[in-house]
Structures are given as C-alpha cells and as structure tokens.
C-alpha cells in the first residue's frame, strides 16, 4: 500500500521540479518516485561494486586484463 510522506525541498530544487513537471506534463509524485527508485538502484549498485572490488582484489584481480586472463 502506498505510503505518504512529507518532505521539505530547497527553493532551487522546488523550482527545478516545477519546471520539469511543466515540461514533461507529469506529476510531483511520479517524478519523485522515479528519482528515488533511480537513487536507490545506484546506491545498491555502488555497494555491490565495492563488495565485488574488495573480493576481486583479495583474489589478485585488479584490471580487466586480469579478468580476461581468468576467463579465457
């Protein structure tokens, strides 16, 4: 079930959001939901990359060539 929250936007963010809503003919809800989904996706991606980089380095993998040598 959707949950409602209240956020306070800085004036410049509100202004940019208003312009985007007008330009795209969308709604605040849709734009903020899309932005938050994208933000969360990239946060998860960065976290996974950090974990995988740590694991790869522990195995002596530092470059694309190292990966290529392992898989070929």
How far apart, in whole angstroms, are the C-alpha atoms of residue 52 and residue 62?
11
pLDDT band at residue 1 using 50, 70 and 90 as cut-offs: confident
What local confidence, expressed as pLDDT, does residue 49 receive?
94
Look at 54 and 2; give whichever has higher pLDDT.
54
What are the sequence ranges of the domains in the chain? 11-71
Which tens digit of pLDDT belongs to each residue from 27-63?
999 999 999 999 999 999 999 999 999 999 999 999 9
pTM over 0.85: no
């Amino acid at each position: 079930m959707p949950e409602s929250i209240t956020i306070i936007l800085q004036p410049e963010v509100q202004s940019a959001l208003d312009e985007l809503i007008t330009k795209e003919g969308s709604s605040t809800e849709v734009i903020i939901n899309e932005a938050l989904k994208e933000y969360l996706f990239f946060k998860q991606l960065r976290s996974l990359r950090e974990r995988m980089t740590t694991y790869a380095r522990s195995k002596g993998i530092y470059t694309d060539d190292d990966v290529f040598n392992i898989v070929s």
